[in-house]
């Protein structure tokens, strides 16, 4: 049974930092690309960041580049998102998502967690 569980969300002041974690099980985590996708309250979906299966390639939305860092620990089946210099516009539910990739062909965002809410407010 696939499980994707995010943690680490909460209320934080602008300019501060937060680290999100995502524990995955029930699928071959070390062979999956992993993403963070966020959803501001009442809004649509926004892709945040991608890390390749082995952690060698990382990509970011321009809105978070230079402030957020994605990483993974395949020995612990865990994905992370270090968020620095947080802004009020970063307030959102953050989803951890697994994606199978065959060569360079992406198979869709298969596995989604329930999300963790990050609120940036003074």
CB of 112 to another protein, least distance (A): 4
Q: Is 27 in the site for another protein (CB under 8 A)?
A: no
Choose which of 32, 81, 113, 118 interacts with another protein (CB under 8 A).
113
Smaller CB separation from another protein, 41 or 44: 44
How many of the other CB atoms lie within 10 Å of CB of 17? Answer: 11
Q: Residue 90 to residues 9, 83, 108: CA-CA distances in angstroms?
A: 12, 9, 25
Q: Which residues partner with 6 through β-bridges?
A: 22
Q: Which residues partner with 88 through β-bridges?
A: none
Choose which of 35, 64, 68, 86 interacts with another protein (CB under 8 A).
35
Q: Is 109 in the site for another protein (CB under 8 A)?
A: yes
Say which residue the tokens 């974690």 belong to.
Answer: 21
Choose which of 9, 47, 117, 119 interacts with another protein (CB under 8 A).
47
């Amino acid at each position: 049974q696939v499980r994707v569980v995010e943690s680490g969300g909460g209320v934080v002041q602008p300019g501060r930092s937060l680290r999100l974690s995502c524990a995955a099980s029930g699928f071959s985590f070390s062979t999956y690309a992993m993403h963070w996708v966020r959803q501001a309250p009442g809004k649509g979906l926004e892709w945040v960041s991608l890390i390749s299966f082995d952690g060698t390639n990382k990509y970011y939305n321009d809105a978070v580049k230079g402030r957020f860092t994605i990483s993974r620990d395949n020995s612990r089946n865990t994905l992370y998102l270090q968020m620095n210099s947080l802004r009020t516009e970063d307030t959102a539910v953050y989803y951890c998502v697994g994606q199978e990739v065959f060569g360079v062909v992406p198979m869709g965002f298969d596995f989604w967690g329930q999300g963790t809410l990050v609120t940036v407010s003074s």
